[in-house]
A and B are shown apart, each in its own frame.
Chain A
Amino acid sequence: DAKTTQPPSMDCAEGRAANLPCNHSTISGNEYVYWYRQIHSQGPQYIIHGLKNNETNEMASLIITEDRKSSTLILPHATLRDTAVYYCIVRGPAYSGAGSYQLTFGKGTKLSVIP
């Protein structure tokens, strides 16, 4: 799986859009970009994923650059409940073995939503 780089922390004013960047310059053509978040003391929560097209769901939007070397997760109207650590993960098709199934979380970005 490709390595990802995220800023360690970000602040966002409540009600404003939160834009969380992720660099994945070694991504392969068949690898997807996933975003999860972990709110303090809770289990990780899946947010969104994509291959090369921009994606949107009820929680967020995912913008992937044309060369696929970076992406941005957008929370359109951040609330206090969005304060969490956000993880960008790149994963490709699995072939065999436990490593295919394990989600590897890096250090992520700690997003603080400020009232």
Chain B
Amino acid sequence: NAGVTQTPKFRILKIGQSMTLQCAQDMNHNYMYWYRQDPGMGLKLIYYSVGAGITDKGEVPNGYNVSRSTTEDFPLRLELAAPSQTSVYFCASSSGDRVLKPQHFGDGTRLSIL
């Protein structure tokens, strides 16, 4: 049972480059989330989705875009990478139609912008 799979695990980008962080879940969860975690800090919600075709902004959406064309996939797009976007990015998913369901996380993508 793969759960939530994130690729790549590590990436170094130059300032101004773009990339897509991939996230896929095989649990048929409706809800998916993107967080970033800076060193020694808690999680900050970037974007979330309550189902295919529906996305919404979280606490820190600037500089990012998402799409949700299928239930399984929720890619995060970085346009014009900046050093402030150096972070660990976690994707998560949860089931059901109530947000009290636990969130299940991938192992993260460690991104450095130089």
Listed in ascending order, the chain A residues whose CB lies under 8 Å from chain B are: 32, 34, 41-46, 49, 91, 93-94, 98-106
Secondary structure class of chain B's binding surface, majority of residues: strand
Inter-chain contacts of B104 with A (CB < 8 A): 46
Q: Known: A98-B58, A101-B45. Is A93-B98 also a contact (CB below 8 A)?
A: yes
Instruction: Please tell me if the beta carbons of A101 and B33 are within 8 angstroms of each other in the complex.
Output: yes
Interface residues of B (CB under 8 A from A): 4, 31, 33, 35, 42-45, 48, 56-59, 90, 92, 98-100, 102-108
Q: Which residue of B58, B102, B106 is within 8 Å of A102 (Cβ)?
A: B58
Are A46 and B33 in contact, CB atoms less than 8 angstroms apart? no
Q: Which of B56, B57, B90, B98 contacts A44 (CB under 8 A)?
A: B90
Contacts of A42 in B (CB 8 A): 107-108
Of the residues B48, B100, B105, contact of A91 by C-beta under 8 Å: B100
Asked if A49 contacts B42 (CB within 8 A), the reply is no
A43 near B102: Cβ-Cβ < 8 Å: no
Q: By the criterion CB–CB under 8 Å, are A94 and B58 in contact?
A: no
Give Cα A105–Cα B31 distance, bound, in whole angstroms: 19
**Complex: chain A residue closest to B106, CB-CB:** A43
Nearest CB to that of A92 among chain B residues?
B100
List of 5 A-B pairs having minimum Cβ-Cβ separation, nearest first: A43-B105, A94-B99, A102-B45, A46-B102, A105-B42
Least CB separation from B49: chain A residue: A101
Looking at the complex, which one of B43, B59, B92, B108 makes contact with A98 (CB distance below 8 Å)?
A: B59
The residues of A that contact B103 with a CB separation of less than 8 Å are 44, 46, 103
A93 contacts B100, CB within 8 Å? yes
Q: Contacts A34-B102, A93-B100, A104-B42 hold; do A98 and B56 have CB atoms under 8 A apart?
A: yes
